[in-house]
Structure 1
Amino acid sequence: MKRTRFSSRKRISPDAGELGRLAAGLAESGGRLEDRFWEAQLAALIERLLADGAEDDINAALDRLYDTNAQAHDELADLVESGAESCVLSYQGQDYDVLLFNAPLLAWSRFSIPAERIPAPTLGMLKVQLGAHVFAAGAQIALADFLFSPDQLPRSFVDTARLLRELGAAALERRDLPLDATSMAETSRFLSDTRYVVGAVVVPRGAPVFRWNEADGSREVALKEWVRQGGPCLEPLLTGCAFQPLLADAYHAACRNADSASRPYSVRASAAFLQTTLGKPTESFRAVIGAFYDRQLEEYRIGFGPRDSDTLYHGVVWPLLGAEDESTDIVSEIEAVLRESGVKEIVSLDQQFPFEFCDDCGAPLYPNIEGETVHAEMPEQTNATSQTLH
């Protein structure tokens, strides 16, 4: 998974240099047999660096390769993510494959979206549904007892690997993992946001992990049943929220899937919020789309307001992800989601806007019909708690 990063040319450590050498070898490999040779050496070095807490060495190697060898960068990034989210643990004389997983859900509310401890009975019900519909027969599952916001997820590969091993040990011992909620980061408040149920699944070495790894399983059925039967287990955690569960998957893949799915979800949530809060039909609003640049195109911002003035009531940020850039037809995707949401008047501005935020409050500034960047402000008579969708 190629990362957007601005790197430095400073001298790197021997371990970082060795990561770069091995990754370059893998990138130049001519066949699967040679792939396995390079991957084995890389995996062993990555495992040691993660265990030693050498986050700086890993990031230095990624930064250097980002400048010099894009394919090697992507190979190394994939293997680092794999090393941080999966491992092999021995328990009572048997080896087990361990995978850190993430079950995201998208939510929106006029009130605060909870990020809080998950009670033991709810953990039990979630594990039953995950075991029945998402993971393979015989898999053992442990969950962290906290509903994470994006601000509270592990911030580094080393932290992710540490959580993997703690949850993996808990799964082997058939228990869940209690976390210290007082040490959690503060959660930023957005009208629309993502929450995560994080856990580990363990299976005997080489056995299927997911339900769709089995001959009679499929991702489509797993998602359908998880939403239908797992969703109600989450309702007590999300009072006052509309929410949409996403399919549980390997930790980093699930995070990326949630990032992608959250963009159209936020647009739809915005339309619903304006309609319910202001008591006006969705077609009475105008959406203005603008492209915002820093060193390069960073994101699109969508300003919502009444069709008969240049006032903005609300704003949505649509960030670029992965390999997306100016050549990606994102505007058409945004316009399609807006039309599906009932917005009739959509204006896409051609100008390039600076990547600016309010100097006083730090909120993004959104484009209006006049091509200006302004604050989004709900009318005074409403009791809206936020004007930004994230």
Structure 2
Amino acid sequence: MRRSSKSSHNRLSADSQRLVTAAQGMVQSASRLEERLWEHVLDTLLHKTLKGNHQDTVDSALDHLFRSDLAAYDALMEAVEAGSESCSVEHDGVQYHALLIAVPILAWTRFSIGSGSISEDMCTTLGAHLHGHLLAPDARLALLPNLYAIDQLPRSHAETFSLVQRLAQAAVKGTAPRATGNAPETAPFLADTRYLLAAVAAPAGKALFAWQADLNPAGREHALERWRKQAAPNIASLLPGCGVELLMPEAYYVACREADRQIRPISIRAAVHYLTNALGVDPTGLRAIVGGFTEDPSGERIDEYRIGFTLRQNPEVVYGVVWPLYGQEDDDEVAENSFEGLTSPEVLDSDLRTPVEEITALLRACGVTHIKRHPEHFPMEFCDDCGAPLYPDADADLVHAEMPEDVASNGGHFH
């Protein structure tokens, strides 16, 4: 979903204004030739800005367009992502184009989901699978020897730009890249995403991926099937005690967004499974309370849903799941008018129209029959002490999710 950078600056710098002007020029172009000219101007400005680590310049331009011109905002955001996840490098007189890719892994468990360094042998094995099933014949690869949680990934476009530049050099030179510095500790979740990061490079004008080399877009699905079949046992060994699902390795930002979407239903299923086992109840003994949360209380947009779980006979919220919204996802009046009807088991996947409908159908499929939705929008509030999201209870109060003390001592450190 679109997000404002919340910049506190009301006045744009000259460099930010140039980015705004170029993005608006692209949107207003009346021909492809004119659009390409503006695109070149924008790409050149962004390369200089990101190389100089001037993330504030980019953020200010995005914030301004988010408030004033959404079409130009989308154009600038697309250009920023493309400019920070790809680059051109030269080696032995040959010009290469390189792309930062993410390899998303969905994982779920009652215990802990691993992250951190992986062995050289495992990197070699996974690199061979990527070459064998996904990459074009002339493509070169540099795979980082780490398994990353989402909060260990680059935190800005400028950091992503720096990373792809370093990995691209390793790819074209055939050297093994070193892991990034000490990664921060990651919060434990019942379901979460892990990532492998790599740069793929090929001579300018040559294909990066196998389906490009074959001029066959349908080859993507076959490549994904082969990747899942061959690489899954190796990746599962990196995440003992976890269920895993492999998603398509592709361009960094696209892969991360798709993983964010795909982990949401798994999070709900994992929560219900964990609670029924930890609390010794059937799913019908749980109650789910759904609330829409927004960063702009004065607006109509919902940024995420939060689902608080309680026992049917107890008002305390014992666990919570966050369902963020992305892209054009949003609720409309249909969702509010039809919500009560969603509590019938006849709701089918093909009937789902909104995120709240999908959440409700998932809960019912997991056996949770008592579901309450608050119609009001809540502010995005978090615990002052630990930073955890606050969840709505049955009375529409925002509270901390806390497992009962006798359960928490048995490894229920997920909240």
Alignment TM-score > 0.5, same fold = yes
Q: Which residue of 2 aligns with 1:385?
A: 412
**Distance 1:174-1:276 versus aligned 2 partners, 3 A rule:** farther
Post-superposition offset of 1:294: 4.1
Tell me the CA shift for residue 362 of structure 1: 3.2
For the 8 Å contact 2:383–2:389, the answer to whether it is kept is yes
For residues 284 and 260 of structure 1, the distance between their equivalents in structure 2, rounded to whole angstroms, comes to 28
Secondary structure of the 1:39 match is helix
- In the alignment, is residue 131 of structure 1 matched against residue 137 of structure 2? no
Alignment CA distance shift 1:154-1:380 (3 Å) = same
Match 2:367 to one of 303, 325, 342 = 342
Give the deviation of 1:32 after TM superposition. 1.3
Change (3 A) 1:225 1:282: farther
Could you say which residue in structure 2 is the equivalent of 1:87? 87
Letter in 2 for 1:99: L
CA contact (8 A) 2:105 2:245 kept: yes
Q: Aligned partners of 1:134 and 1:278: how far apart in 2?
A: 44
| C-alpha distance in structure 1 between counterparts of 2:272 and 2:134, whole Å | 32
Unaligned runs of 5+ in 2: 336-353
Q: Give the whole-Å Cα distance in 2 for the aligned partners of 1:358 and 1:232.
A: 39
- Matched with 2:100 is 100
Does residue 305 in structure 1 map to residue 310 in structure 2?
Answer: yes
Return the offset for 1:244.
Answer: 1.8
SS of aligned partner of 1:233: helix
Aligned residue in 2 for 1:260: 261
Deviation at 1:142, TM superposition (A): 0.8
Name the aligned partner's letter for residue 144 of structure 1.
L
Contact in 2 for aligned 1:9/1:64 (Cα 8 Å): no
2:365 is aligned with 1:364: no
Amino acid at match of 1:109: T
Give a deviation string over 1:316-366, Cα, whole Å, max 9, x none: 011222343453832101112222333233222223334333344333232
Q: 1:60 Cα deviation (Å)? A: 1.8
Point out the more displaced range, 12-21 or 114-123.
12-21
| CA–CA distance in structure 2, aligned partners of residues 87 and 384 of structure 1 | 45
TM-aligned CA distance change 1:15 to 1:357, over 3 Å: closer
Deviations along 1:159-209, one digit per CA (max 9) or x if unpaired, are 11111011111111223311254x322322223222110000011212222
Within-5 A mapping of 1:275-314: 275-296=276-297, 297-314=302-319
Asked if 2 retains the 8 angstrom alpha-carbon contact of 1:109 and 1:242, the reply is yes
Deviation of 1:25 (Å): 0.7
- Alignment correspondent of 1:239: 240
Residue 192 of structure 1 aligns with an amino acid whose one-letter code is A
Shift of 1:148: 1.1
Per-residue CA distance 1:290-309 (angstroms, 9 max, x = gap): 22344243321112233343
> Which is further off, 315-324 or 99-108?
315-324
SS in 1 for 2:105: strand
Deviations along 1:237-287, whole A, 9 cap, x unmatched? 212222222111101111111111121121121122223434444343222
For 2:290, give the aligned amino acid.
Answer: I
Distance 1:279 1:175 in 2: 53
Contact 1:313 1:387 in 2 (8 A): no
The match for 1:15 is 15
Contact 2:290 2:306 in 1 (8 A): yes
SS in structure 1 opposite 2:223?
A: helix
Give the 3 Å change call, closer, same or farther, for CA 268–10 of structure 1 in structure 2. same
Is residue 316 of structure 2 the alignment partner of residue 316 of structure 1? Answer: no
Q: Which moved more, 1:69-78 or 1:316-325?
A: 316-325
> Are the structure 2 counterparts of residues 365 and 63 from structure 1 closer, same or farther at C-alpha, using a change threshold of 3 Å?
closer
Given residue 4 of structure 1, which amino acid in structure 2 is its aligned partner? S
| TM-score computed with the length of structure 2 as normaliser | 0.86
Aligned residues: 387
Q: Which residue of 2 aligns with 1:63?
A: 63
Identity %: 41
Across the aligned residues of Structure 1 and Structure 2, the Cα RMSD in angstroms comes to: 2.2
Is the counterpart of residue 115 in structure 1 residue 76 in structure 2? no
